[in-house]
Amino acid sequence: MSTLVSPFTERRMAEIVEKVRNGERLTLEDGVYLYETDDLLTLGQLANEANLRKNGKKVYFIENMSLYFTNVCEARCAFCNFRKDQGDEGAYTLSGQEMIDYVEQHIHPGVREFHIVGGHNQHVPFQYYVDSLKALHEKYPDVTLKAYTAAEIDFFTRISGLSIEGVLQELRKAGLQTLTGGGAEILSDQYRQKMKVTKANVERYLEVHRTAHKLGMKTHTTMLYGSVESYEDRVSHMLQIRELQDETGGFMVFIPLSMQPKSKNAGIMRRNSAYEDLKTIAISRLMLDNIQHVKAYFINIGPQLTQVALSFGASDVHGTIVREQISHAAGALTPAGLTRKELIWLVKGAGRIPVERDTFYNEIQVYE
């Protein structure tokens, strides 16, 4: 490995380099320092080293399709521009057959995962959400159902009267195989109060994933950064995820999500900088030493920065998506999806090896 420490390297950074190389865990204070330092290149190289030790030069992607059964939502999170009230212009709640009709119009050969999230629609019963999955599973039995956030699962417990485990068991009978990572936002109850996040609190978010892991499910997890939270809040979020991973080993990937402004016309001062995005990916890789993958999500940071992120600790570029809606309902200016060829081009252009995977990171094809 190259020598990262030079006469110009700050002493604290040099100490962190040694800790990482010796397999010592970084602390909250270390993570905050890495956010505060302007030594982006040393940080990036260190995260790159950590990723290469875990994954070599392989970078993963999947042929998937994002689906949204409903945008009606009882929650009013300050950052969300996707939600609607029942009766609003543009509000919708699709039946299973209506979703199948949509899928048949847009699906392409090779899709092996449906990524399903949506609003917390209190105007339909829990059985609606069960039947939605069942309809898709019966029509497309070979496509993995990655469905619902931990916040949605918590919502389902309230409208059904079931426990977390009870909800998960019912959904699994309908075809559910894994949970999406959303709903985490920042794992701080103070943050959630400021941002009007009235859905699942920190304890419930973690408990949903803990329960899923105990049932043998592997899941995903996220962090939505770039609003009112502090650097300490971000690193504390990572540490809470790391602690649960120590306990269960159930997370497959950590996904830092760069906050989008509410309007596509928002100027650059309302958006996270590329500098902040790359730092967050690199710090995530270094703090979360017990999670195999960190994802660079092109929907939020763009394809070009995603390509650069592959040298800053990222080992996954998500998937084809087909038509993303939540970030694009806000101010995302990125493509709503990419093709397999484009993802392969993107990864190869970064000097890495594209690997098409399934939902659980089993390798389907390596594009040497």
Q: Which residues are annotated as a binding site for [4Fe-4S] cluster?
A: 73, 77, 80
Torsion of CA 73, 175, 64, 58, to 10 degrees: 120
Is residue 59 within 8 A of residue 347, CB to CB? The reply is yes
**Under 8 Å CB-to-CB from 221, ≥6 apart: which residues?**
181, 184, 209, 241, 251, 253, 254, 255
Q: To 5 degrees, how large is the angle CA 267–CA 269–CA 275?
A: 120
Binding-site residues from annotation? 73, 77, 80
Buried b (16+ CB within 10 A) or exposed e, 24-50: eebeeebbbbbbeeebeebbbbbbbbb
Is residue 20 within 8 A of residue 317, CB to CB? The reply is no
**Under 8 Å CB-to-CB from 100, ≥6 apart: which residues?**
135, 136, 139
How far apart CA 69 and CA 86 sit, in angstroms, is: 14
Is residue 266 within 8 A of residue 331, CB to CB? The reply is yes
Secondary structure of residue 138 in the 3-state scheme: helix
